Amino acid sequence: MLREQFQRTSRRRTHTNRIVRTRAEALAELRRPCGRFKSIIPTEETLRSFIAEKAADIDNLGNPFFVSDGTPLNWQRLLAFLHENNVIDAPRFSARHYRNDYPHFFDFFELTPMKSRSLSDGREVFYNGFGGSLDPEEAMSKAVGEVLERYFLSTYKLDTLRAASYAELSKRERVIDIHQFDFFLDWQKKRFSTLAFDDESVLRWVQGRELQSGVPVYLPAQIVYWNYLRTPPDLPPEKMIFMQTTSGSAGHFTKDEATLGALLEAIQREGFLIYWLNNLSPNIIDIETVEDRTLRDFVDCIRRFDFEIYFLNTTTDLAVPSVTCAIVDYNDPDGPVIGIGSSAGFDLKGILMQSAIEALSVTQFVSYDKRYVLPEDYVPFVSTDLARMERLHAWKGPEMEKQFRFFISGKKQSAQAFIGDAGSCSTVDSRLAHIVNLFASLGKGYEIYTYEVKNSILKALGYHVVRAIVPRLVPLYLVEFAAPLKARRLREVPEKIGYKAAEKFNPWPHPFP
């Protein structure tokens, strides 16, 4: 069917209207847990609340109605705690605006972090914590979790870091081998001297750990903090090891879950880059072979809006199921509009659903603004201006859809062929052990290094934020000049998975968000 085209937006009203509660209902709601976050309400206050609730139930006159924000009171209390501790700039969720001609059958929440130069010596960055899910409680939990991850891995002070060259520090301490981060070709280093680091380059370091042994290891701070400022005022600039992004970072309710999430994120983003830069057409997962009815209904609903949706198998030789979901909106006035999302893991429904929600969110985001037109003199992999926003908004219009078509032209395969026996890893312990053992079997360069943020706020919430680094994995880049074109795995992996490495890399800016 033809989809009505207009640009007005509608706000999803879940938790944004004012609602009526009795006193007893409000007190009970206030005590409910916010997902798996620890309660921040003191035990004495919890007890008083319970007694007051029971008293209100007995005495109807003492159980008045009152009107308040539709956000559950327990979540309001959690947001107030984060605001009081300078983590978020306002104690409320922002609900996503939806175009009327786009699906809005899932909840999507945003949180804006506190921004102040006094909080961090990093570069000023503009980001929100996002959470999307079919379940509103899960969506709120994801939004809080992401803002915690982004905030605490962008908050550092220079005077807590150790400044030294690799040559100097490695004589006295255990240090990650920076020679393993050999990601830039000679012509890139010649053109951009900031990419040409060596043993004598002075870097700032933070102490992390080697995961398997637990031994403390110094890591360059610039590959831990995603907003790291390599050109601090009144200090010499640092060379770039690879581009800083949030890739390989995660937050969760146990350290193992956060570590697993960080590793899975690094794996799925590397998978996308290997396929994209080598012009490889991934196999397309046949959604009709998925048994889960909820997922199939979700996809059917997206298709009813005249979107094309593809689940692409971007698994590499690591054999950890990785999927990239691509959505193409052919009916947008400025279209086609292209958006992608990705996920990796061991649960078929979970990773397909997560990638689809992200792709749909990105597609709508791209649809709001005008297309970014590449300059006529565009040269691949040299621009320092073509960053995240420009690359996302470049993927609109017939010409760019033509350049994207190869990526959604692979052969179909069943969902079972895609997931294989990964489903047998059904616990966090077994999944993390599987990945750790896999990397250990690959030898040098596949050591896992982690950095866990230690902070009283995270401790109070029972939340863990971890950055994971595996030197050989191809790092995500969002600015063209920082493409890791010398990464060995870009050349080695295609043949291992039945493809052929490209003689020339894909020149078009990738659409990864």
Give residue limits of the domains in the chain: 9-152, 158-223, 249-496
CA–CA–CA angle 41, 45, 50 (5° rounding)? 110
Cα–Cα distances (Å) from 308 to 243, 277, 303, 336, 338, in that order, read 32, 23, 6, 10, 10
Are the CB atoms for 480 and 386 separated by under 8 Å?
yes
* The model's pTM: 0.93
What is the share, in percent, of the chain residues with pLDDT greater than 90? 80
Confidence of residue 100 (pLDDT cuts 50, 70, 90): confident
Measured between alpha carbons, how far is 82 from 79 in angstroms, rounded to an integer? Answer: 5
- Average pLDDT for 63-74: 70
Confidence of residue 333 (pLDDT cuts 50, 70, 90): confident
For 316, the token pair is 């590499």
- Residue-level pLDDT at 69: 67
Average pLDDT, the chain: 91
Measured between alpha carbons, how far is 200 from 189 in angstroms, rounded to an integer? Answer: 16
Q: Which of 60-64, 343-347, 391-395 has the lowest mean pLDDT?
A: 60-64
Q: Which of 193-202, 271-280, 296-305, 486-495 has the lowest mean pLDDT?
A: 296-305
Which one, of 391, 355, 400, lies nearest residue 476 by Cα? Answer: 391
CB burial of residue 468 (10 Å; 0-12, 13-18, 19+): buried
Q: Which of 124-138, 139-153, 434-448 has the lowest mean pLDDT?
A: 124-138
Which one, of 472, 476, 492, lies nearest residue 484 by Cα? Answer: 476
Task: Say if residue 66's pLDDT is above 80.
Answer: no
Measured between alpha carbons, how far is 134 from 298 in angstroms, rounded to an integer? Answer: 10
Task: Say if residue 52's pLDDT is above 80.
Answer: no
Task: Tell me the pLDDT tens digit for each residue of 412-447.
Answer: 999 999 999 999 999 999 999 999 999 999 999 999
Measured between alpha carbons, how far is 229 from 221 in angstroms, rounded to an integer? Answer: 10
Kind plus residue range of the DSSP H or E element containing 413:
strand 412-413
DSSP helix, strand, coil percent of the chain (3-state; round to 5): 40, 20, 45
- Residue-level pLDDT at 94: 85
Distance of CA 174 to the CA centre of its chain: 30
- Residue-level pLDDT at 156: 97
Q: Which of 38-47, 176-185, 223-232, 412-421 has the lowest mean pLDDT?
A: 38-47
Confidence of residue 25 (pLDDT cuts 50, 70, 90): confident
Residues 6+ apart with CB under 8 A from 284: 310, 311, 312, 313, 408, 410, 411, 412, 413
Kind plus residue range of the DSSP H or E element containing 496:
helix 488-496
- Average pLDDT for 501-511: 98
Bigger pLDDT: 48 vs 433 = 433
Handedness of CA 486, 490, 496, 502 (dihedral sign): negative
Task: Say if residue 467's pLDDT is above 80.
Answer: yes
Measured between alpha carbons, how far is 427 from 432 in angstroms, rounded to an integer? Answer: 9
Task: Tell me the pLDDT tens digit for each residue of 187-226.
Answer: 999 999 999 999 999 999 999 999 999 999 999 999 999 9
Q: Which of 128-142, 253-267, 445-459 has the lowest mean pLDDT?
A: 128-142
Are the CB atoms for 258 and 465 separated by under 8 Å?
yes
Classify 232 in phi/psi space as left (phi over 0), alpha (psi -120 to 50) or beta.
beta
Task: Say if residue 8's pLDDT is above 80.
Answer: no
Distance of CA 458 to the CA centre of its chain: 19
- Residue-level pLDDT at 2: 32
Confidence of residue 7 (pLDDT cuts 50, 70, 90): very low
- Residue-level pLDDT at 14: 43
Where b means 16+ CB within 10 Å and e means fewer, 338-355 reads bbbbbbbbbbbeebbbbb
